A = this chain, B = another copy of it.
Amino acid sequence: MQLSARELAQFLNGTVEGDPEVKVGRPSRIEEGGAGTISFLGNPKYEEYAYSTTASILLVGPGFQARKPVAATLIRVDDVYGAVARLLERFGNNNHEPAVISKQAFIHESASLGEDVAVGPFAVIQAGAMIGKGCRIKAQAFIGKSVKIGENVTIYPGVRILDNCEIGNNCIIHANVVIGSDGFGFAPQEDGAYRKIAHVGRVVIEDNVEIGANTAIDRATMGATRIGKGVKLDNLIQIGHNVEIGENTVIAAQSGIAGSTKIGRSCRIGGQVGFVGHIEVADGTQIQAQSGVAAPIDQPNHAFFGSPAIDYNNYLRSYAVFKQLPELYRKINQLERQVNQQQDAPDKDSSS
């Protein structure tokens, strides 16, 4: 597929600056480029590449002002990342898998599959499971008893969705994710051993959710662990039992949320963050990577950092002083000596 700058600008609602007839056949990264490719400048850190890239077309945002000559034809758009998303879909290998049901899959006779569903080899679909139309259940995936899956859901190889859990429409569940494992709940016994608390709840994943590889989401003790509409979870995340995550919240890799905590809507959580259990976190909260949230957050749209997490800017200010602590320590000791000297001295002075 070859598309001209003019055609692409029209498709992306952008304007051409340069040769509108130059044609490209695939996207490229700005630092790699190549004739016949279209690249993009999103992060300003990469601006220098705009002047050296060999890409034929360069997507830029409204704020880009060239400080040097740019060889590529520019397409200027309001929202670079949105345009890239559309571009990659256009050029991406849209080889929508055919709706083949492998003879080497295990599908229980009481399971129901919608139209246009694919099931890969060695996938297992247990009794009473319901799979909506357009779903792609890839090889070696596991769909437990009475699981309900909406329409147009992609389940990658090795995903385990355990009994009674529910997945909405248009979700993407990446490889080796576990949904519906028992939560970590035990009653301590007098002899020091722990007695398992049965988990009779389930997990509910709403529409348009994407879940990264090797993430684990525990089922509720009772009721449901709930992942809201449009939530995006990265890889290797831990979601404890009875956690609830509000709509359009995004969480980066390796973060963990302990049991019964409720995260608000439109939060942005960095990687390797931890939340204690049984707290509520307000809508629009931002948590810096590696922070530990140990207390409820009531006020919406605030940023936090540290372990335990405090106000983001306050943490940075305290950390700036932390870095100077050895020097500060010496200064305090010197001050102490001076003050003690002065305290001894005045009498002599006044008596002199």
Contact of A178 among B175, B216, B238, B323 (CB under 8 A): B175
Contact of A223 among B29, B156, B323, B349 (CB under 8 A): B29
- Residue interface mask A204-221, B partner, CB < 8 A = 1: 000010101111101011
Contact of A350 with B by CB under 8 A = yes
* Inter-chain contact A321/B329, CB cutoff 8 Å: yes
Q: List chain B residues, Cβ under 8 A from A162.
A: 156-157, 175
Contact of A85 among B79, B195, B336 (CB under 8 A): B195
* Inter-chain contact B92/A200, CB cutoff 8 Å: yes
**How many angstroms from the CA of A106 to the CA of B157 in the assembled complex?**
14
Q: List chain B residues, Cβ under 8 A from A174.
A: 178, 181-182
- In the assembled complex, how far is the CB of residue A252 from the closest CB belonging to chain B, in whole angstroms? 7
- In the assembled complex, how far is the CB of residue A168 from the closest CB belonging to chain B, in whole angstroms? 14
Contact of A132 with B by CB under 8 A = no
Contact of A332 among B181, B323, B335 (CB under 8 A): B335
Of A8-16, A56-64, A111-119, A271-279, the one with at least 4 CB within 8 A of chain B? A271-279
* Inter-chain contact B157/A142, CB cutoff 8 Å: yes
CB-nearest residue of chain B relative to A265? B192
Q: List chain B residues, Cβ under 8 A from A290.
A: 274, 290, 292, 307
Contact of A24 with B by CB under 8 A = no
* Inter-chain contact B253/A124, CB cutoff 8 Å: no
Contact of A253 among B139, B176, B238 (CB under 8 A): B238
How many copies the complex holds: the figure is 3
**How many angstroms from the CA of A244 to the CA of B46 in the assembled complex?**
16
A32-B223, A345-B346, A346-B349 known; A176 vs B194 contact (CB < 8 Å): no
A174-B181, A278-B45 known; A346 vs B342 contact (CB < 8 Å): yes
* Inter-chain contact A200/B93, CB cutoff 8 Å: yes
* Inter-chain contact B186/A250, CB cutoff 8 Å: yes
* Inter-chain contact B248/A194, CB cutoff 8 Å: yes
Contact of A43 with B by CB under 8 A = yes
* Inter-chain contact A323/B310, CB cutoff 8 Å: yes
Q: List chain B residues, Cβ under 8 A from A84.
A: 187, 197
**How many angstroms from the CA of A187 to the CA of B271 in the assembled complex?**
18
A122-B122, A335-B335 known; A236 vs B234 contact (CB < 8 Å): no
Contact of A338 with B by CB under 8 A = yes
- In the assembled complex, how far is the CB of residue A173 from the closest CB belonging to chain B, in whole angstroms? 11
* Inter-chain contact A216/B213, CB cutoff 8 Å: yes
**How many angstroms from the CA of A178 to the CA of B248 in the assembled complex?**
25
Q: List chain B residues, Cβ under 8 A from A314.
A: 323, 326
Residue positions of A touching B, CB distance < 8 A: 27-29, 32, 43, 45, 79, 81-82, 84-85, 88-89, 91-93, 102, 104, 106, 120-122, 124, 139-140, 142, 156-158, 160, 162, 172, 174-176, 178, 181-182, 184, 186-189, 192-200, 208, 210, 212-216, 218, 220-223, 230, 232, 234-236, 238, 240, 242, 247-248, 250, 252-254, 256, 258, 265-266, 271-272, 274, 276, 278, 289-290, 292, 307-308, 310, 314, 317-326, 328-329, 331-332, 335-336, 338-339, 342-343, 345-347, 349-350, 352
Sample of 13 further A-B pairs with CB below 8 A, known A216-B253, A314-B323: A29-B242, A45-B278, A82-B187, A85-B198, A92-B200, A142-B157, A186-B232, A194-B232, A253-B256, A272-B272, A331-B332, A345-B346, A346-B346
